[in-house]
């Protein structure tokens, strides 16, 4: 059987399922309003299309590498940098894991209560305690294996993805079905409504857009499974960009119909998707049905994402970790083969992020917004290694061959890689600026800024410490051996 069975439309659909979701629309609309439509078009053309095609060439050049981004970095540079790439891939999941218990709590609240009161009434201390309990429970369960839960989560994740597509269809079709539907955002027929104000505040929100379209490196294993990669893979990626663009633009337009762009609800990031389905359910005469279906599927998807994201990134980091860079204590396994201290380190770091808001955030709504923004700062750090590997690939273009090439000229390829690297770094750095009004609460503003800056720095420094511990382990073994011989 020919292994190269995938066509360009197969690649596009696989990638779309990996990259896209209704949360991308809601979070970015919450920050930019209806003008995000223009931002989506710009980010797709200037960033996402080159990013996806870069991943395609890397995947094609290193088709036999199983380690993903860290393998690409090792092949194009050094083992030390490959370790840092693997560490980054793992450690950026720490804030992500800290946010998942909240998402589970919100989904269950909407499914059971039928409203978002859990966000608007529950104290930060209570949320932190419950989130910590949920996380620690799943951390413990992850050490036991969660195959069934992950399977259920995969189904729920696909269902949530389908709901995000249906959201657009339901919203855009609502005015034709129900004559009582009116647009919440004024002047949606005017082009000027969709033009952003390109000021400093605008650029601090770009990291959320980068976060939304990131993750294309997951597509890489499929490049060489495509019939004629040089022709069909870029075709698939262009189709992917078109689907993402259409979903983003129509999704944002639908959000503008439901929520006034000039008066965005404070709890939109936390409750927006659920409120949107609730409104649409009322338009179509089915009450809370759409919202409950979305809440249940999204809740299950969040549970599985929590379990999977504890387990998978840790295994990528430690399963075949180089003793030169990762100390023996962290690679330790128990009788069942569980990476005991790896899970312990995960537990400590995530628990710290979960309890930090107790010292400077006053309500759950701000907590959700802060953690979402923190993720948009930290998570894209892993994409930097993709672009670094691509630049190094172009520097040593004679050494590596690939069936698919984004651009044939290595100098032009290097410039594309550099552009995407600098744009990602720019977005991450400006994304650290808090999205709350400084004058309204300067104490909270400085707290969020401090945590946003310190979190990535501390996580990176921790990764730099591990090779030192590994060298110490090695020196102890050498001394022990010399003593034994004497």
Give domain status of residue 365, yes or no.
Answer: yes
pLDDT at 186 exceeding the cut of 90: yes
Element (H, E) at 116: none
- For residue 13, CA distances in Å to 138, 161, 227, 415, 420 come to 31, 12, 16, 29, 24
Give domain status of residue 259, yes or no.
Answer: yes
- Indicate the DSSP class of residue 273: H
Q: What is the pLDDT of residue 143?
A: 81
Furthest-apart CA atoms within the chain: distance in Å: 92
Residues 364-374 have a mean pLDDT of: 94
On the CB side of 99, CA atoms within 13 Å amount to 22
Backbone angles phi and psi of 168, in degrees to 5: -65, -45
Residues 275-297 have a mean pLDDT of: 94
pTM for this one?
0.92
Q: What is the pLDDT of residue 1?
A: 40
Q: What is the pLDDT of residue 62?
A: 85
Give the list of residues 6+ apart from residue 186 with CB closer than 8 angstroms, or none.
193, 260, 262
Which residue did the predictor score with more confidence, 456 or 475?
456
Instruction: State the CB neighbour count (10 A cutoff) for residue 144.
Output: 8
Query: What is the torsion angle, in degrees rounded to the nearest 10, for the CA atoms of residue 444, residue 445, residue 448 and residue 452?
Result: -170
Among the ranges given (117-121, 157-161, 231-235), the one the predictor scored with the smallest mean pLDDT: 157-161
pLDDT tens for 210-226 read: 999 988 887 777 787 78
What are 17's two structure tokens? Answer: 């399922």
Q: What is the DSSP string of 301-328?
A: HHHHHHHHHHHHHHHHHHTT--TTTS-H
Give domain status of residue 272, yes or no.
Answer: yes
Query: Are 97 and 469 within 8 A, CB to CB?
Result: no
Give domain status of residue 400, yes or no.
Answer: yes
Which residue did the predictor score with more confidence, 63 or 86?
86
Residues 102-126 have a mean pLDDT of: 92
Instruction: State the CB neighbour count (10 A cutoff) for residue 126.
Output: 13
Q: At what angle do helices 206-213 and 36-43 cross, to 10 degrees?
A: 50
Give domain status of residue 3, yes or no.
Answer: no
Give domain status of residue 435, yes or no.
Answer: yes
3-state helix, strand, coil in the chain (%, to 5): 75, 0, 25
Q: What is the pLDDT of residue 19?
A: 85
Among the ranges given (59-63, 146-150, 203-207), the one the predictor scored with the smallest mean pLDDT: 146-150
Q: How many domains does the chain have?
A: 1
pLDDT at 335 exceeding the cut of 60: yes
Q: What is the pLDDT of residue 475?
A: 78
Report the SS3 class of residue 199. coil
- 38 band by pLDDT with thresholds 50, 70 and 90: very high
- 374 band by pLDDT with thresholds 50, 70 and 90: very high
Which residue did the predictor score with more confidence, 40 or 152?
40
pLDDT at 485 exceeding the cut of 60: no
User: Alpha carbon 253 to chain centroid distance?
Assistant: 23
Q: Where do we find the tokens 């707290």?
A: 447
Q: What is the pLDDT of residue 3?
A: 56
Task: Tell me the pLDDT of the chain averaged across its residues.
Answer: 89
Report the SS3 class of residue 39. helix
Tell me the C-alpha distance between 98 and 81, whole Å. Answer: 27
Which CATH number fits the domain that encloses residue 334? 1.20.1740.10
- Which domain range does residue 266 map to? 8-481
pLDDT at 65 exceeding the cut of 80: no
Q: What is the DSSP string of 142-172?
A: HTT--HHHHHHHHHHHHHHHHHHHHHHHHHH
Instruction: State the CB neighbour count (10 A cutoff) for residue 218.
Output: 16
Give domain status of residue 2, yes or no.
Answer: no
Give domain status of residue 1, yes or no.
Answer: no
Tell me the C-alpha distance between 448 and 371, whole Å. Answer: 10
Element (H, E) at 44: none
Query: Are 441 and 449 within 8 A, CB to CB?
Result: no
- 244 band by pLDDT with thresholds 50, 70 and 90: very high
Among candidate residues 210, 140, 153, the one with its CA nearest the CA of residue 426? 210
């Amino acid at each position: 059987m020919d292994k190269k069975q995938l066509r360009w439309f197969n690649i596009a659909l696989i990638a779309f399922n990996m990259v896209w979701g209704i949360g991308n629309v809601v979070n970015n609309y919450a920050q930019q309003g209806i003008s995000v439509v223009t931002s989506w078009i710009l980010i797709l053309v200037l960033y996402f299309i080159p990013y996806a095609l870069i991943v395609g060439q890397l995947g094609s050049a290193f088709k036999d590498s199983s380690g993903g981004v860290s393998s690409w970095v090792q092949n194009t540079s050094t083992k030390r940098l490959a370790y840092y790439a693997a560490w980054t891939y793992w450690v950026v999941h720490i804030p992500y894991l800290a946010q998942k218990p909240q998402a589970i709590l919100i989904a269950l609240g909407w499914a059971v209560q039928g409203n978002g009161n859990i966000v608007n009434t529950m104290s930060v201390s209570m949320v932190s305690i419950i989130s910590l309990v949920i996380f620690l429970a799943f951390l413990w369960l992850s050490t036991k294996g969660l195959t069934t839960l992950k399977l259920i989560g995969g189904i729920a994740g696909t269902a949530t993805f389908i709901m995000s597509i249906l959201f657009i269809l339901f919203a855009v079709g609502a005015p034709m079905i129900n004559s009582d539907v009116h647009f919440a955002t004024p002047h949606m027929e005017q082009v000027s409504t969709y033009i952003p104000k390109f000021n400093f505040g605008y650029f601090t929100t770009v990291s959320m857009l980068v976060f939304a379209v990131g993750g294309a490196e997951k597509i890489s294993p499929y490049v060489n499974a495509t019939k004629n990669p040089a022709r069909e893979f870029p075709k698939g990626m262009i189709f992917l960009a078109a689907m993402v663009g259409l979903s983003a633009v129509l999704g944002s337009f639908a959000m503008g119909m439901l929520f006034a762009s000039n008066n965005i609800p404070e709890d939109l990031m936390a409750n927006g998707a659920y409120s949107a389905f609730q409104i649409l359910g009322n338009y179509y005469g089915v009450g809370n049905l759409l919202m409950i279906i979305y809440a249940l599927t999204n809740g299950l998807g969040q549970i599985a994402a929590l379990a999977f994201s504890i387990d998978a990134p840790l295994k990528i980091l430690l399963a075949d970790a180089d003793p030169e860079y990762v100390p023996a204590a962290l690679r330790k396994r128990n009788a069942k083969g569980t990476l005991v201290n790896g899970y312990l380190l995960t537990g400590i770091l995530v628990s710290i992020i979960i309890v930090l808001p107790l010292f400077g955030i006053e309500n759950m709504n701000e907590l959700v917004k802060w953690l979402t923004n923190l993720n948009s700062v930290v998570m894209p750090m892993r994409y930097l290694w993709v672009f670094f590997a691509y630049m190094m690939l172009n520097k040593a273009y004679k050494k590596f061959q690939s069936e698919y090439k984004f651009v044939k000229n290595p100098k032009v390829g290097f410039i594309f890689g550099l552009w995407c690297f600098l744009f990602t770094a720019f977005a991450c750095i400006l994304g650290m600026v808090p999205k709350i009004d400084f004058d309204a609460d300067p104490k909270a503003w400085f707290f969020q800024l401090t945590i946003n800056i310190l979190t990535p720095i501390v996580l990176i420094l921790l990764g730099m410490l591990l090779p030192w511990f590994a060298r110490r382990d090695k020196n102890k073994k050498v001394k022990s051996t010399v003593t034994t011989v004497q």
